[in-house]
Amino acid sequence: MGSHHGHSKEFLDLIKSIGEARSKAEEDRIVLREIETLKRLLNDADTPKRKIKEYIIRLLYVEMLGHDASFGYIHAVKMTHHDALLLKRTGYLAVTLFLSDDHDLIILIVNTIQKDLASDNYLVVCAALNAVCRLINEETIPAVLPRVVDLLNHSKDAVRKKAVMSLHRFYLKSPSSVSHLLSNFRKRLCDNDPGVMGASLCPLFNLVSDDVHSYKDLVVSFVNILKQVAEHRLPKTYDYHQMPAPFIQIKLLKILALLGSGDKQASGHMYTVLEDIIRRSDSMTNIGNAVLYQCICCVASIYPNPKLLEAAADVIAKFLKSDSHNLKYMGIDALGRLIKLSPHIAEQHQLAVIDCLEDPDDSLKRKTFELLYKMTKSSNVEVIVDRMIDYMISISDDHYKTYIASRCVELAEQFAPSNHWFIQTMNKVFEHAGDLVNIKVAHNLMRLIAEGFGEDDDAADSQLRSSAAESYLRIIGEPKLPSVFLQVICWVLGEYGTADGKYSASYISGKLCDIAEAYSNDENVKAYAISALLKIYAFEVAAGRKVDILSECQSLIEESLASHSTDLQQRAYELQALIGLDVQAVETIMPRDASCEDIEVDKNLSFLNGYVQQSLERGAKSYIPEDVRTGMGNMNNFRSQDHHETLQHGLRFEAYEVPKAPMQPKVTPVSFASSADIVPVPEVLSSRETHHISSVGSTSEAGSSELKLRLDGVQKKWGKPMYSSSTSSASVSYSTSQKPTNGATQVDGATTVNSKVRDSYDSRKTQVEITPEKQKLAASLFGGSTKPEKRSSTSHKVSKSSASAADGSQGSKAAVVPNDVAVEKTIHQPPPPDLLDLGEPTVTTAPPYVDPFKELEGLLDPSTKSATNHNVAAATNAPDIMSLYAETTASGGYSIPVSGGYDVNLLSELSNAAAKATSGETIVTSLPQSIMGRNAKDSLEKDALVRQMGVNPSSQNPNLFSDLLG
């Protein structure tokens, strides 16, 4: 078998095998085999272009049969780039069927579409416009919109038509992107080609639906176009079954129905053309009937005209008399539209409508019930509702059964000729629709029985209630009743079962117990039954009759008392309590026939006023509202304020407050260099950092005297390993105290004292109590094996105050600060309590101005001379301050060099220094060489001394902060 119409034998065999497949499984096997073949052929680089075209068409078959052909999508996209018209159109056809507007490959087609829209071949342009309608999404609309707008004026009517369709598609996807181009639809309405005009009707219909008033001026234009179409002014090519352009007529009729709704003036322009269409239309063809139906819908929508309504009624009569179910359905629907304008039209077709109810076509029957619902009034409600209930019983579709039941209830409530009929109708609806009926319907039924006829006719109301009770006693015997209906039955029997005296309390209570036993799994039914028993026994007690509780009722009560449901328990306990009360109390609690009376609730509990007043006179305290007791004030004000802020602000974007550090002591604000500041001193300080510490100390002021936690010597947990070097330390009390004694200043020092250096240091110290233990600890922390190292002249500078003090003490190793200088530098404040104070009493005075670095010079080398010029001394023989930390351990900690000899010698030197300082002498203390050494014994003694001072190191590197706080 050779090729046929240019297709290969394989392609024809594929179509033949698919058509002859006897099962879905066989078809799937054929398609899967074809997929494997196409994958192999498409991946072959030597495949000719004409073969690729056939393979893409075979891919279309694969995709249409429900299989995945995504492996060939890219080949279809590539085919759109081809120059050959046949291949290009095939590629566009394939991508419009394969891809959606949100596919990832769309971006590869946009550039090709832009190029093809500017092509000289209008067939290529039409193919690109077809792709635009299907593939261009909201993001890519701006890329092609200018080209599409230009094509509205193309010389070819097919291009103009497709350009209008593309703009319409853009409007549906993104109205804002073409909002400035909507006038083009109006212009195309006057196009010379009927196809372009017909294409513009679709976007105009959407525009009129969105905004009717903006297009009222087009009514005359639409009427003229419709008239020309109806008069066969269009070419014969637009006829369909000898009907002139029926689809254009239908679209115009829909637009005129929107424009003429409620507008008498606009509707007046339409009457003539509508009458002409009804007269001209051929009712022998389906398309002619479609135009007639749309014409009736337009007549029903615009301002009514009697002549048009009469013509429409005649058409409806023809529809209803037809043997075609489709025409009958169309006639019922059209009649439902006209019935609001002319109710008498439905009366003349009542027999035809009833015949439709007997039709076996279920769709026609449902459409007829919708018409009956619209036709219902007081005179025909009984017939219509009875028919609807019969139909509801016959169907098994729960959804439509619920719909019919709601319609029946609505009609019965609105047009019921009598309450008795209403109750009977509701019984039928409940009995057959079951729990599909809304619970509100049950409440409305109970309210109607309780209220009666709403007049002062007590006899009629009593008759209504008696008939309801009798009907429910008959219905109880049914095998299965819905829960909602049983609740209504229990309530009615409890309220009115014994009202007329026809039935005894024992008989009614027995029936209620039977209901509760038969539906024991339904707690709602049992609750209603117990409440009904309570009412019956209460009415018996109020009437003075003896209450005989049946054994089955007693069992029901006992079972409810032990139930897991608190609702059943409460009802059972209330029943037991009520039976034991006297007649007067029962009449007050449970009056007869008072279900519809308003219950007055005393929210202020005024009946307790006498009791409250009596208690107050006896000395009881007045009640204090809860908001006052808790100090919350009026919570309503807070709620209203929060609500107002919520409405005013919506979401709040303020940043969270900075979290406060735990266990932070309260301190008063101090200057930058006050004693509360912590000055970090790293293990290796540069000369500039050393100068910074010295200058800070020389320019600082005395800190606050409040309680502070001093952290000198505490290792920092984060950042570079370093230790805080605050001027006021709990563990290191390096300062000295001076006290005027007999006109002299007593100085307690741990090292050689230099007055000008002491001024620089103690100006930033607070007054602390100094004990011998603290002096030992200070010496231990600052002592060590160091080697003097020469520094540059810029490595150690002092502030103005230090320099001035140095000028006054030239030629001496260490000098005592004059009293007047010490007094000026000292702020007399009560000493702050020391957290590490061991409790030994000491005498404290304001410390003089002392430079700690000069003291260290004395510790290192007692033979070192103080230079007259401080800069010269620093340059020639300045000790290396950081060499004091040379004993830092490998773990980042440091050792405390303390030896037994050092303790004895240092204490003796301290006592001698104190005695000499009292007399104003210059004190020079030399340290023994044993301090400079390092051995294991020294380390053990250092640790022992630290523990003796009250600090227990938790590791090799003691952290005083964590050790102190446990």
Buried-exposed string 594-619: b where 16+ CB fall within 10 A, e elsewhere: ebeeeeeeeeeeeeeeeeeeeeeeee
Least confident piece of the model among 30-34, 61-65, 183-187, 817-821: 817-821
Average pLDDT over residues 200-216: 93
For residue 947, what pLDDT is reported? 61
Q: What Cα–Cα distance (Å) separates residue 676 from each residue in 671, 707, 724, 916? A: 9, 10, 12, 33
Angle at 180 between CA 174 and CA 183, to 5 degrees: 110
For residue 33, what pLDDT is reported? 92
- Place 711 in a pLDDT band, splitting at 50, 70 and 90: very low
pLDDT top residue among 772 and 845: 772
CB atoms closer than 10 angstroms to residue 741: 13
Q: What CA–CA distance (Å, rounded) separates 314 from 302?
A: 18
Element at 240 (helix H, strand E): strand 239-240
Average pLDDT over residues 562-580: 90
For residue 815, what pLDDT is reported? 39
pLDDT top residue among 136 and 844: 136
Tell me what percent of the residues of the chain surpass a pLDDT of 70. 64
Sign of the CA dihedral 903, 905, 906, 910? Answer: positive
Tokens encoding 40? 């192999």
Quick check: helix, strand or coil at residue 744? strand
Average pLDDT over residues 48-71: 88
Of the candidates 907, 765, 768, 921, the one whose C-alpha atom is nearest the C-alpha of residue 850 is: 765
pLDDT of 858-884, one tens digit each? 444 444 444 444 443 434 444 444 444
pLDDT top residue among 661 and 288: 288
Check residue 314 and give left, alpha or beta (phi > 0: left; psi -120 to 50: alpha).
alpha
Reply yes or no on whether the pLDDT at 11 is more than 50: yes
What is the residue-averaged pLDDT of the chain? 74
Q: What Cα–Cα distance (Å) separates residue 813 from each residue in 359, 625, 763? A: 130, 79, 21
CB atoms closer than 10 angstroms to residue 917: 22
Which stretches of 452-522 are DSSP H helices?
458-475, 483-496, 505-518
Reply yes or no on whether the pLDDT at 717 is more than 50: no
- Place 652 in a pLDDT band, splitting at 50, 70 and 90: low
Average pLDDT over residues 16-20: 90
Reply yes or no on whether the pLDDT at 738 is more than 70: no
Alpha carbon 304 to its chain centroid, in Å, reads: 51
pLDDT of 526-560, one tens digit each? 999 999 999 988 888 888 888 788 888 889 999 99
Q: What CA–CA distance (Å, rounded) separates 719 from 705?
A: 31
For residue 240, what pLDDT is reported? 93
pLDDT of 272-283, one tens digit each? 999 999 998 888
Average pLDDT over residues 350-377: 85
Q: Which residues contact 868 (CB under 8 A, 6 or more apart)?
A: 810, 811
Residue 65 identity (one-letter amino acid): L
Tell me what percent of the residues of the chain surpass a pLDDT of 90. 29
Per the listing, tokens 């430079």 go with 851
Which stretches of 261-349 are DSSP H helices?
264-268, 271-280, 286-301, 306-321, 325-338, 344-348
Residues facing residue 747 across a β-bridge: 738
Quick check: helix, strand or coil at residue 867? coil
Check residue 546 and give left, alpha or beta (phi > 0: left; psi -120 to 50: alpha).
beta
Q: What CA–CA distance (Å, rounded) separates 707 from 724?
A: 19
For residue 459, what pLDDT is reported? 79
CB atoms closer than 10 angstroms to residue 105: 15
Least confident piece of the model among 287-291, 591-595, 634-638, 824-828: 824-828
Of the candidates 255, 356, 269, the one whose C-alpha atom is nearest the C-alpha of residue 305 is: 269
Of the candidates 72, 146, 136, the one whose C-alpha atom is nearest the C-alpha of residue 109 is: 136
Least confident piece of the model among 170-179, 420-429, 672-681: 672-681
Residues in the chain: 966
- Place 702 in a pLDDT band, splitting at 50, 70 and 90: very low
For residue 638, what pLDDT is reported? 52
Average pLDDT over residues 244-264: 94
Please report how many Cα atoms fall inside a 13 Å half-sphere around the Cα of residue 260, on the Cβ side: 29
| Residue boundaries of the structural domains of the chain | 438-595
Sign of the CA dihedral 169, 174, 178, 182? Answer: positive
Check residue 950 and give left, alpha or beta (phi > 0: left; psi -120 to 50: alpha).
left
DSSP code for 894 = B
In order, the DSSP letters of 47-65 are --HHHHHHHHHHHHHHHHT
pLDDT top residue among 287 and 766: 287
Quick check: helix, strand or coil at residue 421? helix
For residue 851, what pLDDT is reported? 58
pLDDT top residue among 193 and 874: 193
Q: What CA–CA distance (Å, rounded) separates 557 from 576?
A: 8
Of the candidates 587, 503, 583, the one whose C-alpha atom is nearest the C-alpha of residue 546 is: 583
Phi first, then psi, for residue 213 (nearest 5°) are -65, -30
Tokens encoding 278? 């009804």
Per the listing, tokens 């509702």 go with 385
Q: What CA–CA distance (Å, rounded) separates 524 from 530?
A: 10
Q: What CA–CA distance (Å, rounded) separates 898 from 908?
A: 15
Average pLDDT over residues 54-67: 90
Reply yes or no on whether the pLDDT at 429 is more than 80: yes
- Place 154 in a pLDDT band, splitting at 50, 70 and 90: very high
Q: Which residues contact 392 (CB under 8 A, 6 or more apart)?
A: 401, 404, 405, 408, 429, 432, 433
Residue 313 identity (one-letter amino acid): A
Q: What CA–CA distance (Å, rounded) separates 865 from 875?
A: 13
- Place 952 in a pLDDT band, splitting at 50, 70 and 90: low
DSSP code for 655 = P
Average pLDDT over residues 503-529: 89
Of the candidates 82, 144, 72, 57, the one whose C-alpha atom is nearest the C-alpha of residue 107 is: 144
Tokens encoding 24? 């879905």
Burial (CB count <10 Å: 0-12, 13-18, 19+), residue 180:
exposed
Phi first, then psi, for residue 239 (nearest 5°) are -75, 150
For residue 728, what pLDDT is reported? 39
Q: What Cα–Cα distance (Å) separates residue 588 from each residue in 538, 539, 579, 736? A: 10, 11, 13, 94
For residue 841, what pLDDT is reported? 46
For residue 935, what pLDDT is reported? 59
CA torsion angle for 208, 214, 218, 220 (degrees, to 10)?
Answer: 110
- Place 634 in a pLDDT band, splitting at 50, 70 and 90: low
pLDDT top residue among 820 and 944: 944
Quick check: helix, strand or coil at residue 515? helix
